[in-house]
Structure formats: C-alpha cells, structure tokens
Amino acid sequence: MLAGTPFGASAIALLITVAVIGLMSANLFRGHVLVVALGGLLAGVLYGLIMVAILTLLGRQTQWLTAIVGVILPNAVYDAVLLPLLYPVVRWVGGVVNGRQVQI
C-alpha cells in the first residue's frame, strides 16, 4: 500500500511470475548456482514487465523504456547478484524446517 501502485497489482504480478518460473524450472534450480542467478534475473524482468503492463492497463501513464532501463533491469540484476548468496541459506533453512538433511 505504500508503493503507490493499485492494491493487488504486485500480488498479481508475483503470482504470474512464480507460475511461469515454476513451470520453467521444475528441476532446474537444483543445478549450478549460475542457473539460479539466471532464474532470478528472468523472474525480476518478468515481474517488472508484468507490473508495468498492469499499470498501463489501469490507465497509468507509463514510460516503458524508462521503466525497463531505469527500474526493471537494475532490480533484476540486483536480484541475480544476491540470489546465489542467499539461495544456499534458504535451502538450508528449508531443510531444517522440514527436518531433512540438505547438502549445499
């Protein structure tokens, strides 16, 4: 609610992004850390494009090129850089919570 976007727009964009990336990566993320980073990059770009599309459909003035170059791509790169650092921690925590031994 603090972002200034219509209520639920982010949830819809995240839902679509998770569905698409989930379908594409059924067993993919168990592989190399660069594959994880690429998945994060693609998810970030897809989420940003969906958000801009939703805002456009709702009648907001949007500058697609500015949004892509100034917001979407930098955020996606940021996600892709952080994901390989956080992914092993998240897998380990998931293993602890689920009571399974997880190798990182």
Boundaries of domain holding 46? 9-98
Let me know if residue 103 belongs to a domain: no
Let me know if residue 59 belongs to a domain: yes
Let me know if residue 23 belongs to a domain: yes
Let me know if residue 49 belongs to a domain: yes
- Of 45, 61, 44, the C-alpha closest to 4 is 61
Q: What pLDDT, on the 0 to 100 scale, is given for residue 101?
A: 58
Residue-wise pLDDT for 42-73, tens only, equals: 999 999 999 999 999 999 999 999 999 999 99
Let me know if residue 3 belongs to a domain: no
Q: How many domains does the chain have?
A: 1
How far is residue 76's CA from residue 9's CA, in Å, rounded to a whole number? 18
Residue-wise pLDDT for 39-49, tens only, equals: 889 999 999 99
